[in-house]
Every structure is written in C-alpha cells, then in structure tokens.
Amino acid sequence: MAPGGYLERILRARVYDVAQESPLEDAPRLSARLGNRVLIKREDLQPVFSFKLRGAYNKISSLSAAEKARGVIAASAGNHAQGVALAAQRLGIRACIVMPTTTPRIKVDAVRALGAEIELIGDSYDEAYAHAKTLEESDGLTFVHPYDDPDVIAGQGTIAMEIMRQHRGSLDAIFVPVGGGGLIAGIGAYIKHLYPEIKVIGVEPDDAACLRAALDAGERVRLTQVGLFADGVAVRQVGEEPFRIARRCVDDVIVVDTDAICAAIKDIFDDTRSIAEPSGALAVAGLKAYVEREGLSGKTLVAILSGANMNFDRLRHVVERAELGEQREALFAVTIPERPGAFREFCQLLGRVNITEFNYRFGRADEAQIFVGVGLSHGRKQRDEVLERLHAAGLPVIDLSMDEMAKLHVRYMVGGRAPTADERLLRFEFPERPGALMQFLTHIGGRWNISLFHYRNHGAAFGRVLAALQVPEPEYDEFDRFLTELGYPCIEETRNAAYQLFLR
C-alpha cells in the first residue's frame, strides 16, 4: 500500500469510541526561550494516559465476529497493554496480555483493572512476545501488534488529522517519538499526502535509535541492545511496514540523550504542570535539539506528548539529570593542592556561581581530587568561563558533565580509594525484580574477587551496577568469555578518567 493509501484508512478509523480528541496546547515558556512557537499535542490526557489506545481499538474493532468471539492477545510492558485491555473491555471480548516479569506493578494493576487476563513471562519484551505468539496459535487468539499493522498505524494517524484540524495557521514541523514506528508512520502518511511542505521529524533516544540506524543502512537493522530509560520506545528493530512508510514520509530523525529527555520532562511540567514519561517527553527533547542545530526562529513547531505513565520513584533520577540536560549544572573533576585554605581559594576562583555538590576524601599529602557540581545560570557560556579560570590558575580539571559513569555512580561513591591490583571496571544492566541482585552476584560467583560494587535502583525495569573485579591479565580471555556467557549488557570503564581519579 502506498503511504497515500492510508488517508482513507485514517479518515475511517474507529478510535473515538474510546479516545478523545486531545488538545493542542501552546507552551508559552518553552516558546519564549526557543524563539519559536511550540505547540504540544496532549496524548497524555487519553483515558490510559497514552496514544496507544487509538491503534489498538481501531485494530480490534475491525476484526470479524468470529475473531472477536475468540479474543485477542498482545505482548507489552505498558501503554499498548492498557490500550488493548481498554479496547477489549469496551467491545466485550476476551483479552490476554503477556507482560515481562520486570513490568512495574502499577502497570500490571492498571491492565488487570481493565479486565484483561495477564501472564507474566520472561525478563524482556522479546520473551513475552514469543510466549504471546505461542498462545496465539494454541488458543486461536488474534495477535494485536503494537506498531507493525496497517490498522494500528491508521489509528495512530488520527493524531495528525486532529492537529491539522486544530491548527489553522502555517505549521513548519511535527516532532514524533519513535519506538517501533507505528506512530510516525501514521502521522507521516497523513501529513505528506495532504501537507507535503510540513516536515515530519522522528525523535529517538541515543541508546535505542533503531529508525536512525535503519535509514542510515537503507534497510531494517536489529540493535544488539537498547537502553531502557525511555522504556516506551525501547525497541531493537523498527517495524517492517512503519519503515516502508518512514523511508518516504520522514524528513529527519533526531537522536537525544537521557539528560535531554529529563530536561524535556521539566520543560513540559513548567508549561503544563503535567509529568510526562520519558518516551512521552522525547519529541520535546528532539524539538529543542533541532531548533539549536538548525538555528530556527519564528517557526511553528508541534511536539507529540505521547504518554504519562511514569513510575513515581523514577522522578528522583529525572530531577538529578534535568539540570545537566538544560546545561544549568556542570560536573568537574579538579585537582587542588592538599593544604589548608585550598578549598576557599578554589571557591574564589569559581566566582559568583552556586556550588551544587562537593565530594572529597583525603588521598595524598600533596594534592586533592575533588568532584564538584556547579550551578550555571547562563548555560554553556558560563561553564566555559569557569573552565578557563581553573585552567588559568594551573588547576588540572576534567569536565564530567557528559560522563555517564560519573553521573550514575561515581558522584555517589567519592570517599576513598583502595590499592587494588588487576582491577577491571564494568557497568552492567540486569532485570530489576525481587532477588535480581542476588542472582547477578551468583552468576559472577567466586572465580574473581569483587573489589568495588555500586548499585542504584532508578525505578526502571533494569537495575544499574558498577562493579570492579580483580582479573589477572593471563585470565583476560577467560573473563571476556564469561562476560559473553553472562548475557548482561555491560560497558567496560577501566580507562574512565573519573574512575582513575576518584576510585582507583
């Protein structure tokens, strides 16, 4: 089907039995700051706090009477599950949802409250998906795909139809969060058929950029691993049908990091007093990055706020990272003399800036390594000025503001170093569930001594661990094989500057 062939499907889509026409709202504070008019499409105000019920209902309502009688099945860890459950409830049919065991209880309870049957299987979406496909065959259920289905794509495309009905003036670009691609395919197919001059721009997190990778390669590629902060778009491979449409209808894909997403959550809160989930704020983060990259001014831009199913305990992580994302805080590692009055002299060098964090532990008699956070009222320019003053004073300094290990772990660990030999440092992710930490330690076993360990729960489906193990060089090959067999995503940080300065 040509992308233009979706127009009739979108116009005929049955979504308003469950969905509402969500408002298109001005974001006055963000608009003033960016010098462009920013409009936010509030899909977080849907009954399940996400756009996903549009595609789910359109698909399920199109089934034959026989298919409805047998029921539907889906695999999902969140928003799609709620959309399918609500659609099935309204149509009075059976719904079975397979969810990973790592799914937060709040989402499981929300799906169950809508009357769906739930099976908790595996640690990941892939495992849940495989089990759902097995039940599809054995129970004769109809599988409702979260994005790779024409009826689902058409349902999501009704968002574009609403935007163009709600906004009568000129419109320059629409920013769309991308996971499997169903949302951007629906929006792109509608917009490019009727309003080809409007840019359709996808936004992905830098650790799950499957559409960007596919467009660069000219074919769908499967990412070896994906990050899970923006769990609503944590997809390894863009859908086949969404990719076919995206190649014709998507003008650009912007990739943003975790800090930018957290800053966008704060931006949305400042303008709407609502709290977006990370994937829900993705489009705003991309819009900001695109404005900066292109030097835009005076344009009218729309961002899709796609969902607000945020776990409350994740807010602490968002708050920590939002200031860095807005470049209102910088993190530095600075070496100062180890003598009385040195800290006071250091503060005088900083000038009239707010010190947000200061970590120090005596290590050597001649010099001190300090980990310092500095509040910035004038963004990057002020950060550069601080760096220039420190360099001019002859103080060795490293900017750690973009160092993931420093932001996730080291800032909470500064307090002393131990003389350890043969140490290799790694960052791990493992499924977050009761007993997961013990299982992780059991896997590591007693072959190599653990000489450093730091774990923080960020309210996500996966836990983050920083661990050092003492591995003699002759055992490196055996250790690398062990890491491969372990199967947990990991990044080696042995040469990281923050580790060398504060922990080694």
DSSP per residue, 412-446: GT-S-----SSEEEEEEEEE-STTHHHHHHHHHTT
Geometric angle at alpha carbon 339, from 333 and 340, rounded to 5°: 110
- pLDDT value at residue 250: 98
Using CA atoms, how far apart are residues 207 and 225, in angstroms rounded to an integer? Answer: 8
pTM score > 0.85 for this model?
A: no
Nearest Cα to Cα of residue 13 among 56, 74, 44: 56
- pLDDT value at residue 332: 92
> What region, left, alpha or beta, does residue 394 occupy, with left being phi > 0 and alpha being psi -120 to 50 degrees?
left
Using CA atoms, how far apart are residues 27 and 346, in angstroms rounded to an integer? Answer: 40
Strand partners, 143: 73
Active site residue 299: no
Nearest Cα to Cα of residue 306 among 124, 37, 7, 40: 40
CA–centroid distance for 212 within its chain: 15
**What domains, with CATH codes, occur in the chain?**
3-50+150-323 (3.40.50.1100), 52-143 (3.40.50.1100), 327-402 (3.30.70.260), 419-502 (3.40.1020.10)
- How far is the CA of 5 from the CAs of 156, 193, 271, 436, in angstroms? 15, 9, 37, 48
Strand partners, 39: 26, 302
Q: Over its length of 504 residues, how does the chain's per-residue pLDDT go in tens digits? A: 665 589 999 999 999 999 999 999 999 999 999 999 999 999 999 999 999 999 999 999 999 999 999 999 999 878 999 999 999 999 999 999 998 887 777 788 889 999 999 999 987 777 888 999 999 999 999 999 999 999 999 999 999 999 999 998 999 999 999 999 999 999 999 999 999 999 999 999 999 999 999 999 999 999 988 887 888 898 899 999 999 999 999 999 999 999 999 999 999 999 999 999 999 999 999 999 999 999 999 999 999 999 998 878 788 888 878 877 878 888 999 998 888 778 778 888 887 787 788 887 766 778 888 888 888 877 788 888 889 989 999 999 999 998 988 888 888 887 766 667 789 999 987 766 556 667 677 777 777 888 888 876 665 556 778 888 889 999 999 999 888 887 778 889 999 988 888 887
Using CA atoms, how far apart are residues 292 and 97, in angstroms rounded to an integer? Answer: 41
Q: Furthest-apart CA pair in the chain: how many Å?
A: 82
Active site residue 52: yes
User: Which one of 22, 50, 52, 192 is the catalytic residue?
Assistant: 52
> What region, left, alpha or beta, does residue 314 occupy, with left being phi > 0 and alpha being psi -120 to 50 degrees?
alpha
Burial call 215-230: b when 16+ CB within 10 Å, e when fewer: beeeebbebeebbbbb
Using CA atoms, how far apart are residues 369 and 367, in angstroms rounded to an integer? Answer: 7
- pLDDT value at residue 281: 97
Strand partners, 426: 467, 492
Using CA atoms, how far apart are residues 237 and 209, in angstroms rounded to an integer? Answer: 9
User: Which one of 50, 61, 76, 306 is the catalytic residue?
Assistant: 306
Using CA atoms, how far apart are residues 202 and 282, in angstroms rounded to an integer? Answer: 9
Using CA atoms, how far apart are residues 368 and 342, in angstroms rounded to an integer? Answer: 9
Pair of tokens at residue 463: 């836990």
